[in-house]
């Protein structure tokens, strides 16, 4: 039963990430995900400090605000450093993350977080060596379900505008779609999913959940709908396989899931290379 | 006039990823001419120049320049990349860019002397940019940027110039100045210029020899009078049958 | 107080190296490569510890350098062989290497090796634990980076500014990339102990970003100005951050340096913007 709960909860997160990830990697926002995953840290600490208990709603809200702040700051700095979007992203997230680390170390007693757990996940009372028991599972379930439903509804309702701003931003603008509105909506949803998965897998590994399954699907699909479906499948398989691998071989399950995702990615990559007509791979 | 071929391509295969651009492609380019390469987007114009310069490895076949391999005659060839491949925000001055053309004289680690700078200034003067030598390249207009880059190409003092769309974003006055300089190189010094060009209205005025490309194949090649006909152009720009 | 001077000396040395490498990374639009390497060193640190069982800086650094290099190599291989976008590839490599490192660390922890407790200082840096021999290591790295930079400035300039042209005149662009990779890894490994892997990219990027911005404002856009500005900013920030972290002894030094630097960046960006608007 323990195992089942873990798989259901992490699986829900994995699927949510996989779906959103498709739009993220197509919009070249892969590293923005990394940035958001780092910069929501001060938000989480602040939410802990003001709510004292683990109030999911407050954490989600504050962290989402910080996610949007990240995207906003990045854009703002980018306007001052033309053509250097990556530098802007780097400056923003290291700043917010550093603030977060200082807050964590200053208020470690009150907030009950410590700096290692921020990176490794299971930050809520669960030291990472007893990972395999997840005493918090039932609590994470409604959160996961809620986030998953949000993502599902958002994608169903907003599929067309999202597709348009992903495929051709200028055209979308010309027909009156607010690119920045949808961009920030996407960013806030990403922040929500990140913060919800954060405690399960940690700030760096959540990036893998967002990026690797869609990237795998991208290799073998030629339209967005198919890519989303495949990405979901890859995400779910990796979660299940990765978790059982960690049960058998030990080690961190979050890390096992990411390693499994990467292995699947490599298999699909090799498969797609073998089946396609190889010519001359030069960029 | 006996025409020598400067560039001889034999059965080359070139492509990006799964996309093949040239398959079993062969062609010759005659010397001491203004040679134009014309074709629709994706026909392989720029790729052809890159393949000649060894910027994209060819899978098989051979490329000969002046009857030798590229490695042996590199100093006699000047290449001007497409404008959008360059980072215009880079902190470099006009003089520094022109100096790049003298690379073969000072190499990577040699000292840049006063003579080098004077020489670079000479070429900047030729394109009318000497007064802007201290300027930052991002402060220049599109036409001025292209003048500087041609000055760099001239500074290479090559026998063969491969120019990839040198007139994109260039005003008419600059274009006329530059084309005169280029034509002078051909007629007075017997140099060969191969240029990717997209402005059909000026083709007959600029070139002596034309190469019409479509989807990695030659539609027609030959002297401008024979090749630049309405029929051929239609065929070159026609979409897939 | 002697310790404070050690920390400061180590920090200033590191500031010089990161400022130089950072300028190149920003100019090459490879700003986040530093972040990838910084995360990529983690499996190497874990493996080196697993194999030797001691927390010796030298051994761990070698491990870190090897796996940092592997992460970059993997990144470039994927770039060449797939049509995935660069940022996607970076995110994949970064999270995979970090996961691998984490997996190894957890394994070590489960094995109950007592020496493991200090390993987390690699993540956020513990400048307070710097010893004279670490400073010697930093000094060597910095001298190497400065020397390489002086020696091959033209090389990096040409290949960064116009890769196709450089190739066309026969300049080895791939070697230039390796050179920068080497400088990058050297700097990051040298900074592991004082700043830690996670915030390393801030020391690389933020001063270089400010320098690029300022050089445009003062109309002195050339490489030397960028280097001087970036080094100067980075040193002042390190001094400021280190002093601040001594006021709050519980907190690690790295984040303070980053916060000071970022606030400076944000401040400068606003002031200059208002001026240009008026």
Say yes or no for a CB contact (<8 Å) between B87 and C169: no
CA distance B81 to chain A (A): 16
Q: What is the CA radius of gyration of chain C?
A: 19
Whether residue C221 lies within 8 A of chain B, CB to CB, comes out as yes
pLDDT digits (tens, 9 = 90+) for C195-241: 777 778 889 999 999 999 998 888 777 888 899 999 999 999 999 98
Instruction: Compute how many other C-beta atoms are within 10 angstroms of the C-beta atom of residue A243.
Output: 21
CA dist., res. C148 & res. C163, Å (int): 20
Nearest to A211 among C95, C102, C272 (CB): C95
Question: How does residue A281 score in pLDDT terms, banded at 50, 70 and 90?
Answer: very low
Give Cα A282 distance to the centre of its chain: 31
Mean pLDDT of C81-109: 87
Mean pLDDT of A29-41: 87
CA dist., res. C67 & res. C61, Å (int): 10
pLDDT computed for residue B202 by the predictor: 86
CA distance C208 to chain A (A): 9
CA distance A67 to chain C (A): 17
* CA distances in angstroms from C172 to B21, C159, C165, C168, listed in the order given: 25, 8, 11, 10
The token pair at A237 is 């398989």
Question: How does residue B228 score in pLDDT terms, banded at 50, 70 and 90?
Answer: confident
**Beta strand B209-214 pairing with B62-65:** unpaired
Residue C23: CB partners within 8 Å, gap ≥ 6? C208, C211, C212, C223, C226, C227, C230
pLDDT computed for residue C145 by the predictor: 93
Question: How does residue C113 score in pLDDT terms, banded at 50, 70 and 90?
Answer: low
Question: How does residue C156 score in pLDDT terms, banded at 50, 70 and 90?
Answer: very high
Whether the complex's predicted ipTM is more than 0.85 is answered with: yes
Examine the pLDDT at A134 and tell me if it is beyond 60. Answer: no
* CA distances in angstroms from C143 to A102, A124, C61, C192, listed in the order given: 32, 44, 17, 17
Q: Which CATH number fits domain B5-237: 3.40.50.300, 3.40.630.30, 3.30.70.1400, 3.20.20.70?
A: 3.40.50.300
Select the more confidently predicted residue: B125 or A52. B125
C contact residues 90-149, partner B, Cβ 8 Å cutoff: none
What mean pLDDT is reported for chain A? 81
pLDDT digits (tens, 9 = 90+) for A95-130: 998 898 888 888 766 655 655 566 665 533 333 333
In the CATH hierarchy, which fold is given to the domain comprising C2-266? Answer: ABC transporter involved in vitamin B12 uptake, BtuC (1.10.3470)
Examine the pLDDT at C272 and tell me if it is beyond 70. Answer: no
Say yes or no for a CB contact (<8 Å) between A280 and B59: yes
Map out the domains of chain C as residue ranges.
2-266
Say yes or no for a CB contact (<8 Å) between A95 and C258: yes
Residue B10: CB partners within 8 Å, gap ≥ 6? B26, B61, B62, B63, B64
CA distance A139 to chain C (A): 25
Chains contacting chain B through 3 or more C-beta pairs under 8 A: A, C
Question: What chain B residue is nearest to C26 in terms of C-alpha separation?
Answer: B90
Nearest to C169 among B86, B91, B103 (CB): B103
Mean pLDDT of A17-23: 93
Question: How does residue C262 score in pLDDT terms, banded at 50, 70 and 90?
Answer: very high
**Which residues in chain A have their CB less than 8 angstroms from residue B56's CB?**
280, 282
What mean pLDDT is reported for chain B? 86
Whether residue B59 lies within 8 A of chain A, CB to CB, comes out as yes
Question: How does residue C129 score in pLDDT terms, banded at 50, 70 and 90?
Answer: low
Question: What chain B residue is nearest to C227 in terms of C-alpha separation?
Answer: B91
The token pair at A234 is 């890859």
A224-230 contacts, C-beta under 8 A, 24 or more apart = A224/A22, A224/A26, A224/A163, A224/A166, A227/A22, A228/A18, A228/A19, A228/A22, A228/A155
Question: How does residue A160 score in pLDDT terms, banded at 50, 70 and 90?
Answer: confident
What mean pLDDT is reported for chain C? 84
CA dist., res. A137 & res. A205, Å (int): 19
Q: What is the DSSP string of A160-193?
A: HHHHHHHH-HHHHHHTT--HHHHHHHHHHHHHHH
CA distance B128 to chain C (A): 22
Say yes or no for a CB contact (<8 Å) between A280 and B14: yes
Say yes or no for a CB contact (<8 Å) between C222 and B100: no
Whether residue C213 lies within 8 A of chain B, CB to CB, comes out as no
Q: How many CB pairs below 8 Å do chains A and C form together?
A: 213
Nearest to C83 among B17, B54, B97 (CB): B17
Question: What chain B residue is nearest to A273 in terms of C-alpha separation?
Answer: B18
pLDDT computed for residue B232 by the predictor: 83
Examine the pLDDT at A82 and tell me if it is beyond 70. Answer: yes
pLDDT digits (tens, 9 = 90+) for B46-62: 888 888 888 887 777 88
Say yes or no for a CB contact (<8 Å) between C221 and B136: yes
Examine the pLDDT at C93 and tell me if it is beyond 80. Answer: yes
Select the more confidently predicted residue: A142 or B82. B82
Residue pair C247/B115 in contact by the 8 Å Cβ criterion: no
CA dist., res. B113 & res. C162, Å (int): 22
pLDDT computed for residue C1 by the predictor: 57
Instruction: Compute how many other C-beta atoms are within 10 angstroms of the C-beta atom of residue C224.
Output: 11
């Amino acid at each position: 039963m323990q195992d089942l709960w873990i798989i259901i909860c992490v699986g829900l997160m994995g699927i949510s990430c996989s779906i959103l990830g498709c739009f993220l990697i197509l919009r070249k926002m892969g590293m923005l995900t990394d940035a958001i995953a780092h910069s929501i840290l001060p938000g989480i600490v602040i939410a802990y400090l003001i709510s004292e208990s683990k109030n999911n709603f407050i954490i989600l809200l504050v962290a989402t605000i910080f996610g949007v702040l990240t995207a906003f700051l990045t854009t703002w700095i980018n306007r001052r450093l033309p053509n250097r979007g990556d530098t802007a992203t780097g400056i923003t997230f290291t700043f917010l993350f550093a603030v977060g680390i200082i807050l964590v170390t200053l208020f470690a007693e009150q907030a009950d977080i410590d700096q290692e757990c921020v990176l490794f996940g299971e930050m809520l009372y669960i030291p990472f060596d007893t990972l395999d028991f997840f005493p918090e599972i039932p609590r994470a379930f409604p959160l996961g379900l809620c986030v998953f439903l949000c993502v599902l509804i958002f994608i169903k309702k907003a599929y067309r505008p999202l597709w348009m701003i992903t495929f051709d931003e200028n055209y979308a603008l010309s027909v009156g779609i607010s690119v920045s509105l949808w961009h920030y909506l996407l960013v806030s949803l990403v922040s929500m999913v990140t913060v919800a998965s954060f405690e399960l897998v940690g700030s760096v590994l959540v990036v893998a959940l967002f990026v690797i399954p869609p990237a795998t699907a991208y290799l073998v699909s030629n339209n967005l709908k198919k890519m989303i479906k495949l990405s979901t499948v890859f995400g779910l398989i990796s979660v299940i396989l990765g978790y059982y691998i960690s049960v058998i071989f030990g080690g961190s399950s979050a890390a096992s899931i990411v390693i499994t995702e990467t292995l699947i990615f490599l298999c699909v990559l090799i498969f797609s290379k073998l089946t396609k007509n190889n010519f001359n791979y030069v960029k | 006039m006996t025409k020598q071929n400067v560039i001889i391509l034999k059965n080359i295969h070139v492509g990006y990823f799964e996309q093949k651009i040239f398959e079993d492609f062969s062609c010759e380019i005659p010397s001491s001419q203004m040679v134009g390469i014309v074709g629709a987007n994706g026909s392989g114009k720029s790729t052809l120049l890159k393949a000649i310069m060894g910027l994209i490895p060819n899978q098989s076949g051979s490329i000969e320049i002046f009857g030798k391999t590229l490695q042996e005659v590199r100093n006699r060839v000047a290449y001007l990349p497409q404008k959008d491949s360059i980072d215009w925000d880079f902190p470099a001055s006009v003089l520094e860019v022109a100096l790049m053309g003298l690379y073969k004289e000072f190499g990577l680690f040699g000292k840049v002397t006063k003579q080098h700078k004077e020489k670079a200034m000479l070429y900047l003067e030729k394109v009318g940019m000497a007064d802007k030598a201290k300027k930052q390249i991002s402060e220049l207009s599109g036409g001025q940027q292209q003048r500087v880059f041609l000055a760099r190409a001239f500074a290479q003092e090559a026998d063969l110039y491969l120019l990839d769309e040198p007139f994109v974003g260039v005003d008419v006055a600059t274009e006329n100045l530059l084309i005169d300089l280029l034509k002078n190189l051909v007629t007075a010094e017997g140099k060969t210029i191969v240029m990717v060009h997209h402005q059909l209205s000026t083709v007959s005025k600029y070139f002596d020899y034309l190469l019409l490309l479509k989807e990695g194949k030659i539609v027609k090649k030959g002297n401008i009078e024979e090749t630049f006909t309405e029929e051929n152009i239609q065929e070159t720009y026609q979409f897939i049958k | 107080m002697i310790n404070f001077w050690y920390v400061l000396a180590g920090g200033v040395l590191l500031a010089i190296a990161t400022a130089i490498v950072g300028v190149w990374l920003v100019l090459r639009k490879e700003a986040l490569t530093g972040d990838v390497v910084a995360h990529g060193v983690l499996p190497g640190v874990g493996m080196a510890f697993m194999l030797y069982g001691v927390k010796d800086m030298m051994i761990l650094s070698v491990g870190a350098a090897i796996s940092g290099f592997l992460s970059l190599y993997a990144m470039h291989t994927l770039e060449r062989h797939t049509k995935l976008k660069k940022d996607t590839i970076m995110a994949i490599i970064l999270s995979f290497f970090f996961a691998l490192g984490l997996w190894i660390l957890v394994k070590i922890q489960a094995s109950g090796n007592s020496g493991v407790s200090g390993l987390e200082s690699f993540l956020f840096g513990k400048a307070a634990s710097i010893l004279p021999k670490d400073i010697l290591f930093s000094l060597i790295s910095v001298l190497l980076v400065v020397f390489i930079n002086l020696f091959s400035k033209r090389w990096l300039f040409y290949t960064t500014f116009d890769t196709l042209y450089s190739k066309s005149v026969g300049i080895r662009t791939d070697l230039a990339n390796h050179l920068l990779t080497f400088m990058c890894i050297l700097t990051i490994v040298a900074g592991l102990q004082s700043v830690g892997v996670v915030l390393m990219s801030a020391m690389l990027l933020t001063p270089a970003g400010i320098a690029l911005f300022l050089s445009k404002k003062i109309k002195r856009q050339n490489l030397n100005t960028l280097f001087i500005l970036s080094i100067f900013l980075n040193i002042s920030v390190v001094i400021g951050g280190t002093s601040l972290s001594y006021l709050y002894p519980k907190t690690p030094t790295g984040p303070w340096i980053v916060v000071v630097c970022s606030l400076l960046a944000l401040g400068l960006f606003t002031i200059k913007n208002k001026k240009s608007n008026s």
